[in-house]
Amino acid sequence: LPAPDGVTTRLTVNSPDQMQELGRRLAKLLRPGDLVMLTGELGAGKTTLTRGLGEGLGVRGAVTSPTFVIARVHPPLGDGPPLVHVDAYRLGGGLDEMEDLDLDVSLTDSVIVVEWGEGKVEELTEERLHVFIHRTVGTASSPVATPGPPETDEVRHVVLRGVGERWVSVDLSVLSA
Ligand code: ADP
Ligand code: MG
CATH number, domain containing residue 32: 3.40.50.300
Residue 128 is predicted with a pLDDT of 94
Which helix (H) or strand (E) segment holds residue 85: the answer is strand 83-87
Question: CA 160 to CA 105: how far, in whole Å?
Answer: 27
Residue 95 is predicted with a pLDDT of 58
- Residues with CB under 6 Å of ligand 1 are 13-16, 19, 40, 42-48, 65, 150, 152-154, 156
Q: Model-level pTM?
A: 0.91
Question: CA 30 to CA 142: how far, in whole Å?
Answer: 32
**Residue 176 lies inside a defined structural domain of this protein:** no
Question: CA 47 to CA 20: how far, in whole Å?
Answer: 9
Cα 173 to middle of ligand 1, angstroms: 22
State the ipTM, two decimals: 0.99
- Paired with 115 in beta bridges are 38, 87
**Residue 173 lies inside a defined structural domain of this protein:** no
**Full residue range of the structural domain in which residue 90 is found:** 8-168
**Residue 129 lies inside a defined structural domain of this protein:** yes
Residue 15 is predicted with a pLDDT of 96
User: Chain-centre distance of CA 175, in angstroms?
Assistant: 14
Cα 53 to middle of ligand 2, angstroms: 13
Q: Are strands 136-138 and 83-87 parallel, antiparallel or unpaired?
A: unpaired
Residue whose CA is closest, atom 6 of ligand 1?
45
Blockwise average pLDDT, block size 10, the chain, 177 residues: 76 96 97 95 95 98 86 94 91 69 82 91 85 80 74 91 93 87
Q: Cβ distance 68 to 86 under 8 Å? A: no
Residue 1 is predicted with a pLDDT of 56
**Residue 59 lies inside a defined structural domain of this protein:** yes
DSSP state of 32: T
Question: CA 67 to CA 149: how far, in whole Å?
Answer: 19
Question: CA 25 to CA 12: how far, in whole Å?
Answer: 15
**Neighbour tally for 101: CB within 10 Å:** 14
**Residue 81 lies inside a defined structural domain of this protein:** yes
Q: Cβ distance 111 to 34 under 8 Å? A: yes
Locate all alpha helices (DSSP H) within the chain, ordered by sequence. Answer: 16-27, 46-57, 95-100
Q: How many domains does the chain have?
A: 1
